[in-house]
Amino acid sequence: MTLTQLKSSSFSKAAEEIIAAGLFLGAKGWAPATSGNYSMRLEDGRIAITVSGRTKGALTAQSIMIVEADGTPCDNRIPSAETLLHVGIYHVYPDCHAVLHTHSLNSTVFTKRYAELDAIVLENYELLKVFPHIKTHEARVSLPIVDNAQDMKALSATITPRLAKDISAYLIRGHGLYAWGRDMTEARAIIEATEFMLGCELELRS
């Protein structure tokens, strides 16, 4: 296989997985009004990411483009407005190959209702075992919550120092949830489990 063929097969596989993730997350109601964005790191280090403004439950291969590792677009389309947040996560976690971002009711309500919190502690949930490094429900994970901003450079600079080795998700207040994994299967499991635990926390605290 030539390098060009390798690059193109890596992109095709990533595009398929991103489209499937969009169907899954869109059906959950976690991508209202074209919100959310999804990406995968390609074998050559570049990033396949959703084009800005596409309906996430109806993505096609044309809805996904490639950006350089620093987020610079590789064609004249406009990548997700939050591309720099994906870039930041890939930079901090060399093992990470998939990043998903939802705009869910639970992540939005939780972070607005508990506006004084700068983290959410998830403790003693069976589903915590979805996170890498965790083998038992007797675990405690603190996920950062950062205030929302439209300046992605500033937002990335705020969140990056808080990306500890053992976390796989963070929340943006009044906005949504980011989660990532070593592959798309893991990223999907982590975002679904985190959304579930956020729903539990809202029920438990109400």
For binding to Zn ion (CB under 5 A), which residues are involved?
176
Between the alpha carbon of residue 203 and those of residues 26, 104, 178, 197, the distances in Å are: 23, 15, 21, 10
Q: Measured between alpha carbons, how far is 81 from 151 in angstroms, rounded to an integer?
A: 10
In the bound state with Zn ion, the residue whose beta carbon lies nearer, of 43 and 52, is: 52
DSSP state of 33: G
In the bound state with Zn ion, the residue whose beta carbon lies nearer, of 139 and 163, is: 163
Burial 56-86 (b: 16+ CB within 10 A, else e): bbebeeebbbbbeeebeeeeeeebbebbbbb
What's the closest the beta carbon of residue 35 comes to Zn ion, in angstroms? Answer: 6
Main-chain phi, psi angles of 43, to 5 degrees: -60, -30
In the bound state with Zn ion, the residue whose beta carbon lies nearer, of 55 and 124, is: 55
What's the closest the beta carbon of residue 153 comes to Zn ion, in angstroms? Answer: 15
What's the closest the beta carbon of residue 113 comes to Zn ion, in angstroms? Answer: 19
What's the closest the beta carbon of residue 81 comes to Zn ion, in angstroms? Answer: 8
Residue closest to Zn ion, measured at CB: 176
In the bound state with Zn ion, the residue whose beta carbon lies nearer, of 176 and 181, is: 176
